[in-house]
């Protein structure tokens, strides 16, 4: 499979470049970066530390994606609609892990999925997908007297909060309790917790790759369902698994649940 990377010089883009370079069935044919990226014009293999691979990072989407079967995107939310439009035009599969998409970004995913296969996931780990399923199952079994709250921890360089994965886990809670209302902080005389509250809180610091805990707090006991990502490679592996899955599929919007089968 021929891969292009969007957000190629970022942390995830470089991690995926390293894994794709080592995989026999994958060839990196394109690398798209931002227009102000100092890596522009440099070989993406060299930037990723695997030596030159003959693919230069470019800010030009059209030429950067040319010839790819699939583009893997880990960039910024504002860049996603433009990427999707070009990928749909050039008829390639899309895997996107970019978080914090707004309504226009989500709409762009759906529109592109009318003509090419698209997989978007806030977290590319199979473990998070299973955690979301476990959370929904536990809430159904425990019933309404158990409160749900979510805490996530990420490295100090993360720019958005709460994490896309925390939002994904909040969606899992919402699938069982459609009336819950997310709140992202408590400060001052906020009064008693309402049954509809769903606290989703972020902690930032150090080099934490990503920890997520869903607390289910009941009378006399609590469950703490935790996922810890110990390396960025986990997420890069997941993105490549998603690309292998989505390549040559029917146009549709897929999720990591589809990859799990």
Contacts of 160 (CB under 8 A, 6+ apart): 99, 100
4, 53, 65, 121: residue in contact with ligand NAP (rule CB under 6 A): 121
Cβ 79 to ligand NAP, closest distance in Å? Answer: 3
Give the x/- contact pattern for ligand NAP in 14-43, rule: CB under 6 A: ------------------xxx-xx------
The active-site residue, picked from 2, 42, 155, 158, is: 158
Is 212 considered catalytic here? no
168 lies in the site for ligand NAP, by CB under 6 A = no
DSSP letters spanning 103-166? HHHHHHHHHHTTTSEEEE-S---HHHHHHHHHHHHHHHHH-TTSEEEEEEEE-TT--SSS-HHH
The whole-angstrom separation of Cα 115 and Cα 168 is 25
Give the x/- contact pattern for ligand NAP in 78-117, rule: CB under 6 A: -x-----------------xxxx-----------------
| Contact yes or no for 124/97 (Cβ under 8 A) | yes
Taking the least distance from each CB to ligand NAP, the nearer of 39 and 117 is 39
17, 58, 75, 129: residue in contact with ligand NAP (rule CB under 6 A): 75
Q: For residue 212, report the phi and psi dihedrals to the nearest 5 degrees.
A: -135, 130
DSSP secondary structure code for residue 194 in this structure: P
Cβ 166 to ligand NAP, closest distance in Å? Answer: 11
> Which is it for strands 252-254 and 117-120: parallel, antiparallel or unpaired?
parallel
Size of the residue set binding ligand NAP (CB under 6 A):
25
Is 2 considered catalytic here? no
Positions marked catalytic: 154, 158
């Amino acid at each position: 499979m021929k891969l292009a990377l969007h957000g190629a010089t970022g942390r995830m883009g470089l991690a995926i470049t390293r894994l794709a370079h080592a995989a026999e069935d994958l060839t990196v044919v394109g690398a798209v970066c931002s227009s102000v990226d100092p890596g522009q014009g440099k070989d993406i293999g060299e930037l990723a530390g695997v030596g030159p691979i003959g693919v230069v990072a470019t800010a030009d989407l059209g030429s950067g994606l040319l010839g790819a079967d699939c583009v893997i995107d880990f960039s910024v939310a504002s860049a996603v609609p433009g990427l999707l439009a070009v990928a749909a035009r050039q008829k390639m599969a899309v895997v996107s892990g970019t978080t914090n998409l707004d309504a226009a970004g989500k709409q762009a995913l759906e529109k592109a999925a009318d003509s090419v296969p698209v997989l978007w996931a806030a977290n590319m780990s199979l473990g998070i997908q299973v955690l979301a399923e476990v959370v929904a199952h536990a809430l159904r079994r425990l019933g309404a007297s158990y409160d749900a709250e979510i805490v996530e921890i990420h490295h100090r360089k993360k720019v958005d909060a709460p994490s896309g994965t925390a939002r994904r886990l909040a969606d899992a809670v919402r699938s069982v309790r459609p009336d819950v209302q997310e709140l992202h902080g408590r400060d001052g005389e906020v009064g008693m917790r309402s049954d509809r509250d769903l606290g989703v809180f972020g902690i930032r610091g150090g080099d934490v790759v990503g920890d997520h805990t869903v607390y289910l707090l009941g009378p006399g006991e609590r469950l703490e369902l935790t996922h810890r990502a110990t390396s960025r490679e986990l997420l890069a592996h997941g993105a490549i698994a998603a690309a292998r899955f989505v390549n040559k599929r029917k146009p549709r919007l897929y999720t990591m649940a589809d990859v799990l089968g």
